[in-house]
Structures are given as C-alpha cells and as structure tokens.
C-alpha cells in the first residue's frame, strides 16, 4: 500500500490517521495504518493540525467545549483581572471539566484579596487562524475523506494515489506550495445546538462531512465543525462553483440538502 499523500510505500506504517483531529472530539472517523504513512501522519500533526488547533479562536472553542487533547489536557485561556490589571490563566480539568482553576502571579494575590469587586476579562474577538492554515487543514481532510469513501472498494485507494487531478490539493496539504487556496466558511447552526436522535436522545454533533458533486462536474469537501461549515474545491484553488451551488439551492447546506433539518432525520 502507498501513502495517499507522498505516494511512497507505507506498508510498514503503524499510525492510525484521524480525519478530523482527536483534539476536536473525533475518535471514530479514522483511516487504518498504511493509508497515510507515519512520516505524513507526524508531519500533519506538527505542521498542519497544530497551527489550526493552537490558533486563539480554536483554543477558545476547545476550552469552551472541554475538548481534551491527546495528552489529556484542555487548553487554557489567558485573561486580565481588573481593576488591578493582573494577568491570569483559566484552566479546566479533564477529569472534572466543569471545575475551573485560576492561576495568577504570586505578587497579585495580595491586591486581589483587597478587591471588593473585579472582573476577569478575556479577548472578545479571539484571533482566527490564517487562511493558509485553514486551507491546508481542509485540504488534508478532503483527501482523507475521499480515501475513507473508497477504502472498502478493492483497488480504489491505488487509483486515488495515482489520480493526478488531485495532486494540487494533495500537495497543498502536504507541502503548502500553493500560495492561496480559497475556501468558504459560514455558521450553519449554533456550536452548542443539540439534535434529537431517532431514539429520542439529544446529541451535540461536533463534526460531520460529505462530498458535494455539482451538476457542472466540480467536487467539494463540505465539513462542519461545531456548526461552522467549511467548503474547499478538490479540483483547484477557486470557490466560485460552490457559491454558484449555494445560490441555486437557496443557501442550503449540502450536508442537509434534500433532507430534513438535522443529521438524525
């Protein structure tokens, strides 16, 4: 078996690849060892996923949702205690995610004890990851989603590896050698929204994805992470075709087009 990114022999690889990182709540959507080689797996974790996960806005999301990293930690948030303007770090505990701790400099403790009132202020508009960080993250997911779709069909993974039309998005993910790769992003439901399963149980959908094939022959990955929908073109660095599809389908999400408004309907 060859790696779907670098195309080198991956028979000896032992790493399981998570299509969406574990640090965003994914434990089920994975690719078996050998589909993505160990070298590419390690590269993506370090150079593609980490910049996305460690961006201020995504760290804030992970803190809010109590998402535990591979190391069993929930990201911290940095803020300022007013009116003394002392820096502070807010922690959530993985074993008890509703319990928080506040870390402040030792020199600020005395001033805090004298306060009759105060506030802990965090950034109101945490910084988003750069467009290139997001597009490489989406490109990596796009190739892996395609692989997951083809995995059960004999010989199709080899065809995916050899498909030259996917080399541009493959190389954007693995090497970042395309300066810009436009994508589309929008909020399609609140990040805390609960959906009712057919069993009657309320469930928060943390991530979902599908491949959109348009009537004019373009293919797009569409992925929603905590209610934010992203779309990226498999065929090249343009997003006009996705905007056209949205316009012709009354801005419906491809994740739900032709379905009732919910993943469990």
48-54 mean pLDDT: 96
Q: Which residue has the higher pLDDT, 98 or 135?
A: 135
Cα separation, 120 vs 59, whole angstroms? 18
For strands 219-225 and 119-121, give the pairing.
Answer: unpaired
Does pLDDT of 261 surpass 60? no
Cα separation, 108 vs 102, whole angstroms? 12
Per-residue confidence band for 113, with pLDDT thresholds at 50, 70 and 90: low
Q: Which residue has the higher pLDDT, 66 or 38?
A: 38
Give the chain's mean pLDDT.
89
> How crowded is residue 197: how many other Cβ atoms within 10 Å of its Cβ?
13
Q: Are 92 and 74 in contact (CB under 8 A)?
A: yes
Quote the pLDDT of residue 262: 60
3-state secondary structure of 243: helix
How far does the chain reach from its first CA to its final CA, in angstroms? 38
- pLDDT single digits (tens) 125-134: 567 899 999 9
Question: Which is nearest to 257 in space by CA: 195, 225, 214?
Answer: 214
Does pLDDT of 72 surpass 90? no
Q: At what angle do helices 167-175 and 131-150 cross, to 10 degrees?
A: 130
Peptide bond into 83 cis (omega under 30): yes
Quote the pLDDT of residue 128: 84
Range scoring the smallest mean pLDDT among 9-13, 92-96, 103-107: 103-107
- pLDDT single digits (tens) 140-198: 999 999 999 999 999 999 999 999 999 999 999 999 988 899 999 999 999 999 888 87
């Amino acid at each position: 078996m060859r790696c779907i990114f670098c195309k080198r022999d991956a028979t000896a690889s032992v790493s399981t690849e998570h299509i969406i990182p574990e640090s965003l709540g994914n434990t089920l959507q994975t690719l078996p060892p050998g589909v993505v080689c160990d070298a590419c797996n390690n590269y993506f974790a370090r150079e593609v996923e980490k910049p996305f996960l460690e961006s201020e806005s995504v760290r804030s999301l992970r803190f809010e949702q109590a998402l535990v990293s591979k190391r069993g930690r929930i990201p911290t948030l940095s803020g300022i205690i007013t009116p003394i303007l002392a820096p502070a770090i807010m922690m959530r505990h993985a074993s008890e995610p509703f319990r928080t701790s506040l870390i402040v400099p030792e020199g600020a403790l005395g001033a805090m004890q004298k306060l009759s009132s105060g506030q802990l202020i965090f950034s109101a508009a945490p910084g988003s990851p750069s467009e290139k960080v997001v597009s490489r993250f989406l490109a990596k997911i796009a190739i892996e989603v395609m692989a997951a779709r083809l995995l059960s069909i004999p010989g199709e993974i080899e065809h995916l590896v050899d498909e030259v039309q996917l080399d541009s998005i493959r190389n954007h993910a693995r090497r970042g050698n395309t300066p810009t790769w436009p994508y589309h992003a929008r909020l399609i439901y609140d990040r805390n929204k609960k959906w009712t399963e057919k069993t009657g149980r309320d469930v928060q959908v943390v991530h979902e994805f599908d491949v959109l094939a348009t009537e004019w022959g373009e293919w797009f990955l569409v992925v929603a992470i905590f209610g934010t929908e992203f779309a990226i073109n498999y065929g090249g660095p343009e997003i006009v075709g996705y905007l056209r599809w949205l316009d012709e389908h009354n801005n419906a999400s491809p994740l739900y087009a032709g379905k009732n408004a919910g993943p469990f309907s």
